[in-house]
Structures are given as C-alpha cells and as structure tokens.
Chain A
Amino acid sequence: MDLTPSDEQRLLRESADRFIAETYTTKLREHNAREPFGFSEAIWKQFADLGWLALPLPEQHGGIGGGAIEVGILMEAFGRGLVSEPYLSTVVLGVGLVAEHGRDEQKAALLPQIAEGTLRLAFAHAERAARANLSRVDTSARKDSDGYMLDGAKVAVLDGASADQLIVSARLANNGSGSLRLFLVPRGADGLTLADYPRLGGGRACNLTLQSVRVPADAMLGADGDAYPAIEAVVDRALAAMSAEAVGMMQTLTDKTLDYTKVRKQFGKPLAANQVIRHRLTDMSVQVDEARSMALRAALKADADAAERGRAASGAKAKIGKGARFVAEQSVQLHGGMGVTEELDVGAYFKRLLAFETLFGGSRHHYRRHAALSGRLVNA
C-alpha cells in the first residue's frame, strides 16, 4: 500500500503543470473561445507531440498504457488552465469506449490515429427524456440487409462538431432484445443534423438529430452484445477524470481567492484579517483536500469490479460536486462585485465547475446511485 506518486507520475505532473503555466494563458483561452471548434488545433497537435493523446491507449495500438491515475494527473492540470481541447471527449470517452468494447480490428484502425492527433471522437449518448439516467436510451437502431438505420435525438454531445466520428448509442428495435448498441457514425453522415453551441465554461457541445441515418453492419462497435456494461465502465472512468479536473479548478479558485483577500483592503485592513473570511477560506481549502482524496480514490478504483468502481466514481462525483459548488460560490462571494463580472476569470472557473456538476448527473443523483450500488436504495 503506497499512495506516493512514482517518478514517472511526478515527471508527468511537472510537465503538465509547466505546459499550463507557460502556454495556457488567459489570452489563449480567449483565442480558443473564438475558434469554430472552441479549441486550438495547434495545441491539440502539441498534446499529440507530448504523448498525451497516446497516454491511456494500450501499447499494442500505439499507446503508452497509462491508467486512470496518469489521466487524472493531466486532467487536474487541465482544470487549472481551463483547457478546452476535447481530451475528455476523444481520449477519455472515445478511446475508453473503443478500447473497452471495440473489436480488435476497430481498435487497430482507430486508436493509432487518435494517438497521432488525426482522429477525434465524440460520445453521443444523453437524451432529453433520460436526464441523468445512463440506461435510458430511446434512439433506435433497425437492422436490415445493408446494416443499421438509426433514428432519434441526442443532447449535450461534448465536442460533437469537431469530432470525425460520433459514437452513438441506440437500442435495437426489431430483433426483440431491445439491448443497447454503439455505432460509429461519421460526422457528415446523411440524415445527421448537428446544432452546435458554445458550452458553459468553455469548449463546445451540440444536440443531434438522427433521421434514417444509415451505417454499414461493421459500424457497430464491438460484437453483438449489450453495450451498457461498457458504457457504465467508461462513464465511471470519465467521472474519475472529470473529478481530477474539478480538483484543479477548485484549487486554482481557492488560491486566487486567498491571494485576493490578502491584498484587498476594507475598513483599513485586508479582508483576510477578518476571522469570518479566514474560516471561509479554510472551509474552501478543506473541500479541495477532500476532493483531491475522492478523485484519487475514483482513479484507484477505476478498474475494480463494477459495484466498487461505481461507488468510488459516484462518491467522487457526488462529494466533489457539492464541494465544487461551495468553492465556486464562495470564490465569487469573496471577490465581491468584481467576482460577478467578466473582468476576472473567477466567473470562468465558476461556470466550468457548474458544467462539471451538471454533466452525467449532479451531486444528488450520484448520492442516490451510491446508495443503490450499496444495496441501500431500490429504484435509484
């Protein structure tokens, strides 16, 4: 039992922190927000050159074979810098689904391109009626002699417009099983409509409609079998990665707020000279510390059995979601009127943390899931 980082992990943290500090400036963020895809192609290329896109890929497919801990180290740094490149969409969710559920020839075809930075994926899963229920999918896949025909609508597809291929979840409509399948759909497919928008806190997302979208039979990801266990596993790992990202944001916000309350003077003394402010800052830093512990736990349990993995992932999402709101709201509060303006980046972190809390279900949803996975609650 040892929770100290290895030398490789320490080096990865140093290089990620240095990259964010030197390259990922406010100016770059503003530039990215004006880009059509909400991020910089040049930075994505740099991620490829640094080996970050290959980080969690299996070694036989051009990857480095890193795990959830390594991804978490990168994501925490990305959180500090409010990175808007589609790492979560392509490398965590996309690679995760292909590696977990894809056939060998699909892995061999797709993964090396991702490592090189020439292929991006997006996961089109959430639907309006499903809210946070991961297993509720109404989009249908109808099998015929040519392949499959997909019909339905998806919401909050992260970085869908910049993806070369979308991984669309759908329920088999006509063979009686009704089980879930995943399909690789090219972004330009006939019948696919994207409504792209800039998403809260940076990056972009889109809503999709699929009207009689035809894909060949081999576009189905993986073999014939229910895709839900793979989806659940990959989303749990994404929750761990997002948790680490949230830790980076919470730490940065707390640091910024601490610095501000030391220099901002009212009534002839710094704000931080008041005990009520010091204790608030203390509570924020305790939340950051607990968030760090939970993100680490979720990463360490990323490959555990489904219930243990799910309890750690939902525990992290639930607790960090609650802590993130506290830290974000108190950061704005302690910055006073300036905290509510676009002149400081406090609001940008606030919004990104709210996006974190919203994605894949909020804090309350994940406490319910934790209780259900612990056998305490039926019908979560």
Chain B
Amino acid sequence: MDMTFGDAELAFQQEVRDFIAANLTPDMKRAESLNASVFSEPETGVPWQRALNAKGWGAPGWPVEYGGPGWTPAQRWIFETECAHAGVPSPTPMGVKMVGPVIIGFGSPEQKNYFLPRILSCEDYWCQGYSEPGSGSDLSSLKTRAVRDGDEYVINGTKIWTTHAHNANMMFALVRTSDEPRQQDGISFVLIDMKSPGITIRPILTIGGDHEVNQVFFDDVRIPSSNLVGEEGKGWTYGKYLLEFERGSGIASAKLRKALHRTAALAESDATGRAIEDPDIAIRMSEAEVDIDALEMTELRVLSALQNGQNPGAVSSILKLRTSEIYQAVSRLGVDVIGNDGLYVEPTRPLHRLNAPPAIPEDELAVMPTHLNGRAYTIFGGTSEIQRDIISKLVLGL
C-alpha cells in the first residue's frame, strides 16, 4: 500500500497542470472564487467544459467508445485534485454526469448518436426534472403525467428545485405513464425540449440571494415518443442508477480542502483581524482538516478497489453524507472567521460582475451566501436522513 504516485502518474499530473495553466483564464478563476452557488454560472461553466472537451477530457466517467478518456481511477483522482486545487469552474453535472450515463446505459442508438456529442460540447444545456412539490424524499410518489397520444407524449404537472432550468434547453425527467400498485412502477424517463410550448419557469431565490433553482410547470407539453429513454415504465430503475452515479461520482475531498484553504487564508488576513489567533478557530480548522483527511482516505480506498476491479460496496452513501456535513462545517467556520463582515450581504449576482467596491473585502463576499445556500447540501440528492436509511440497509443489513 502506498499513497505516492509512480512516474506515469506524475507525468499525467504535469499534463493536467499544463492544461489548466493554458485554459483557466484569470477571469474564470475570479468568477469561480466568487461563486456562492453550488455550480458555476453557464458563462464560466460552459467555456471550461468546451476546453475540456477539446482536449478529449469532456467526460472522465464515460466509456472510451462514447468519448471518455479511458483514465485509470488514479488518473481520475489526479485530475479532480488538480482541478480543485487550481479552482477551476464546476459545470453543472446534469449533462455529463447524469443524463449522459443513462443514455449510454439505456438509450437507443439514435439517442446516443444525437445527444452524447451535444452533451460533451455543451450544445445542449441540461436540467433535471425529478422532485415535485409533493414528492421530495418520497420521490417515487411523483405525479407529473405523460399520456401517450399517437407518436407523442402529452405532459402535465410540475417539477421543482430545477437547477439552471432558466439556462437549459433540455430537461431529463421522471414522469408517470401509468398507475400501478407499486408507486415505483409506471414511471418513465423522458427527454424534454425546454422551448416546447406550455412550459413556464418560475424562479426560486435561495436564502443566499442566488437564482440557481426554479419551479417548472408543464401545461399540455408535447414531446415526440422517440424521447422516451429505454422502456416505458422502467424509469425508476434508470433514475436510481443515475442517483447512485450522482452520489458515487464525486471526488469531493479535494474541493473541500480548497474551501478550507480559502477559509484559512481569510483567517490569516488582516481583513478578519487575523481570526486564526483565536485558538478555537485554529483548532476547528484542524478538526475540519482531519475530517477531510479521513474522507480523502475513504475515497482513495474506493479508488483502489475500483482500480483492482473490486466492488467498493455501499460507500457512496457514506461519502455523500460525510461530504455534505464537512462542507457545512467548513462554511460555518468561514462565517465565524469573517465575523462582523458577515452582516453585509451583497445582492449583485453574479458577484464577479460587481461594479462598485463592496462594503467588505472582496475575498469575504461569497462566504455568507455560500454558507446560507450550502444548507442545501444535506438536503439535495437524497437528504442525510435518506442516506442514513440507505446505509442502514446496505451496510448494516437492517
């Protein structure tokens, strides 16, 4: 067992660093450091995704035949770590990490040929239609209905928490196509053109002051039946596959470490009156770092198992649970570090477009909105309570 990189891995690390140096512009970097949302705005996320795609790195998790780079898990680790360290944009995962794998796994040849290249190039910008006002953690109780009419489906209902629906031209959604005794049955996975007549988008502002999510209404929206993925009524299986992908695809420790480094830099600055000199802040910083160390080791253990063709087991829920909790601990620490400056909440969005000098140092601007919006981490993608249910079933056999 060792944690060091071999020559080939070191060479790859250098290649990633060179790529980042050549493609990460100072504007992108600044925009990302001032991003208080979960994901980057399209104006930074899309150019970054296109640069990755031009290099052949647009979809690290995809099989080579569909455009994946064919990386080993260790290479994937190095890539994610270097990206986090450099502070590159975080494009939304809805295309590459979510609908892409479902289309690869269950889509028709026509869907693969048409959609996959458009995902890689960001020609299509995707959003996800899963949650509904009445269906949060109990997702399979969803009611948005698609009724077959000739070679079309007619969709009525509403979706909520739809990240970047206002930027997207495509949505993948779970809809009810029939009523069955088990609520997980009768759900289908469909692809919806967001320009279709009958779609209304209502913005929802989160408590940090950001417009990232929306509610989307469907009023007799027609989509071609060829936009059904896989078989009618099997959508729950595909949706669960995607959720497991969502939970397991993250190499999160490097991003958390970056967030902690940002907080540490603030704590060491005169802007915060050198908050680090408060022993309580210093020690909590170490507590967060040690938690990140533990998360990193768990991620590396999973990667090593994958590298050797082993099944890492049901750890993706453990990683999701801990990542979200540690993220919130770091953001809470950030709030304590900036102290009184947390009282100032800058309303301009995106923050990097701010014209007038803010009332507080620029480095502090994103701290409070990040903390406020970040309360969603233990809620989206399956709440911490749902993760504990899953862990108790899968790990403990309860």
What is A's interface to B at a CB cutoff of 8 Å? Answer: 1-6, 9, 69, 258, 262, 272, 275, 278-279, 281-283, 285-286, 289-290, 293-294, 296-297, 300, 312, 315, 318-319, 364, 367-368, 370-371, 374, 376-377
What residues of B have a CB within 8 angstroms of the CB of A5 in the complex?
A: 1
Chain B contact residue count (CB 8 A cutoff): 46
User: Most chain-A Cβ atoms within 10 A of its Cβ — which of B291, B385, B395?
Assistant: B395
What residues of A have a CB within 8 angstroms of the CB of B294 in the complex?
A: 290, 293-294, 297, 319
Given contacts A282-B392, A286-B318, A289-B298, contact A2 B285 (CB under 8 A): no
Find out whether the CB atom of A4 lies under 8 angstroms from the CB atom of B283. Answer: no
Q: What is the CA–CA distance of A262 and B395 in the complex, to the nearest angstrom? A: 14
Q: How far is the CB of A74 from chain B (nearest CB, A)?
A: 15
Q: Which single member of A2, A275, A293 contacts B2 (CB below 8 Å)? A: A2
What residues of A have a CB within 8 angstroms of the CB of B392 in the complex?
A: 278-279, 281-282
Find out whether the CB atom of B297 lies under 8 angstroms from the CB atom of A297. Answer: yes
Find out whether the CB atom of B282 lies under 8 angstroms from the CB atom of A278. Answer: no
Find out whether the CB atom of B300 lies under 8 angstroms from the CB atom of A3. Answer: yes
A-B Cβ contacts below 8 A, count: 132
Residue of B nearest to A368 (CB): B283
Q: What is the CA–CA distance of A282 and B308 in the complex, to the nearest angstrom? A: 27
What residues of A have a CB within 8 angstroms of the CB of B228 in the complex?
A: none
User: Most chain-B Cβ atoms within 10 A of its Cβ — which of A281, A294, A376?
Assistant: A376
Q: B322 contacts the other chain (Cβ, under 8 Å)?
A: yes
Q: B307 contacts the other chain (Cβ, under 8 Å)?
A: yes
Find out whether the CB atom of A3 lies under 8 angstroms from the CB atom of B304. Answer: yes
Residue of A nearest to B78 (CB): A1
What residues of A have a CB within 8 angstroms of the CB of B295 in the complex?
A: 290, 293
Find out whether the CB atom of B5 lies under 8 angstroms from the CB atom of A279. Answer: no
What residues of A have a CB within 8 angstroms of the CB of B296 in the complex?
A: 293
Q: What is the CA–CA distance of A376 and B389 in the complex, to the nearest angstrom? A: 38
Q: Which single member of B5, B301, B310, B385 contacts A293 (CB below 8 Å)? A: B301
Q: What is the CA–CA distance of A281 and B395 in the complex, to the nearest angstrom? A: 10
What residues of A have a CB within 8 angstroms of the CB of B398 in the complex?
A: 258, 262, 272, 278, 281
Find out whether the CB atom of A1 lies under 8 angstroms from the CB atom of B9. Answer: yes
Find out whether the CB atom of A367 lies under 8 angstroms from the CB atom of B286. Answer: yes
Q: Which single member of A272, A275, A293 contacts B298 (CB below 8 Å)? A: A293
Residue of B nearest to A297 (CB): B297
Find out whether the CB atom of A367 lies under 8 angstroms from the CB atom of B1. Answer: no
Find out whether the CB atom of B395 lies under 8 angstroms from the CB atom of A377. Answer: no
Find out whether the CB atom of A315 lies under 8 angstroms from the CB atom of B389. Answer: no
Q: What is the CA–CA distance of A262 and B291 in the complex, to the nearest angstrom? A: 30
Find out whether the CB atom of B290 lies under 8 angstroms from the CB atom of A370. Answer: yes
Q: How far is the CB of A194 from chain B (nearest CB, A)?
A: 37
A-B pairs, 5 with minimum CB distance: A293-B297, A376-B282, A278-B392, A3-B304, A315-B290
Q: What is the CA–CA distance of A19 and B398 in the complex, to the nearest angstrom? A: 29
What residues of A have a CB within 8 angstroms of the CB of B276 in the complex?
A: 376
Q: What is the CA–CA distance of A146 and B370 in the complex, to the nearest angstrom? A: 69
Q: How far is the CB of A356 from chain B (nearest CB, A)?
A: 17
Q: B4 contacts the other chain (Cβ, under 8 Å)?
A: yes
Find out whether the CB atom of A2 lies under 8 angstroms from the CB atom of B1. Answer: yes
Binary CB contact string for chain B from 1 to 37 against chain A (1 if under 8 A, 0 otherwise): 1111110010000000000000000000000000000
